[in-house]
Structure 1
Amino acid sequence: MPRILRLSHTLGDAPHEPVPADRLLAGTPLQAVANAYSDAGNRFHCGVWEGGVGHWRVQYTEHEFCHLLSGRVRLRGDDGEETLLVAGDSFVVPAGFSGTWEVLETARKLYAIYEPGD
Structure 2
Amino acid sequence: MQPPALPPIVALGDDGPAPESYRPPADRILAGDPVQTVSNRFASADGRFNCGVWTCQPGKWRVIFSENEFCQWLEGVVLVTGDDGQQRRFQAGDAFVMPAGFTGTWEVLEPARKYYAVYE
Tell me whether the two structures share a fold, i.e. TM-score over 0.5.
Answer: yes
Matched, 1:63 2:81: no
The structural deviation recorded for 1:8 is 2.3
* Contact 1:35–1:48 (8 Å) recurs in 2: yes
CA distance in 2, matches of 1:37, 1:72: 25
The superposition leaves residues 46-76 of structure 1 with CA deviations (integer Å, 9 ceiling, x where unpaired) of 0000000000000001000000000000000
| CA spacing shift, 1:10–1:26, aligned 2, 3 Å | farther
The structural deviation recorded for 1:12 is 5.6
- For structure 1, the 5+ residue unaligned runs are none
Displaced runs of 4+ in structure 1, greater than 2 A?
A: 8-13, 15-19
- Within 5 Å, give how 1:36-47 maps onto structure 2: 36-47=41-52
- For structure 2, the 5+ residue unaligned runs are 1-5
CA distance in 2, matches of 1:50, 1:58: 16
Per the alignment, residue 109 of structure 1 pairs with: 114
The structural deviation recorded for 1:11 is 7.0
The TM-score, its normalising length taken from structure 1, stands at: 0.91
Cα RMSD (Å) of the superposition?
1.5
Amino acid at match of 1:48: V
SS at match of 1:22: helix
Matched, 1:29 2:34: yes
SS at match of 2:11: coil
